[in-house]
Amino acid sequence: MIKIYTASSCHSCKKAKEFFKKEEIPYQEKNILVSELNEAELRDILSKTENGTEDIISTRSKIIKENHTDIDSMTISELIAFIRKNPSVLKRPIMVDDSKIQVGYNPEEIRVFIPHEKRVAEWSCRKADCPTYNKCK
- Of 123 and 126, more confident: 123
Residues spanned by the domain of 37: 2-136
Domain count, the chain: 1
Query: Could you tell me which residues are beta bridge partners of residue 96?
Result: 3, 101
* Residues labelled as active-site residues: 10
Q: Please, which pLDDT band fits residue 132 given cuts at 50, 70 and 90?
A: low
Task: Identify the CATH number of the domain in which residue 86 sits.
Answer: 3.40.30.10
Tens-digit pLDDT profile for residues 68-117: 999 999 999 999 999 999 999 999 999 999 999 999 999 999 999 998 88
The predicted pLDDT at position 83 comes to 97
pLDDT score of 118: 77
Task: Kindly state the average pLDDT of the residues 126-136.
Answer: 56
Contact 93, 16 (CB under 8 A): yes
Query: What percent helix, strand, coil does the chain show, rounded to 5?
Result: 50, 15, 35
In this prediction the pTM is 0.84
Tens digit of each residue's pLDDT (9 = 90 or more) over 51-71: 999 999 998 899 998 989 999
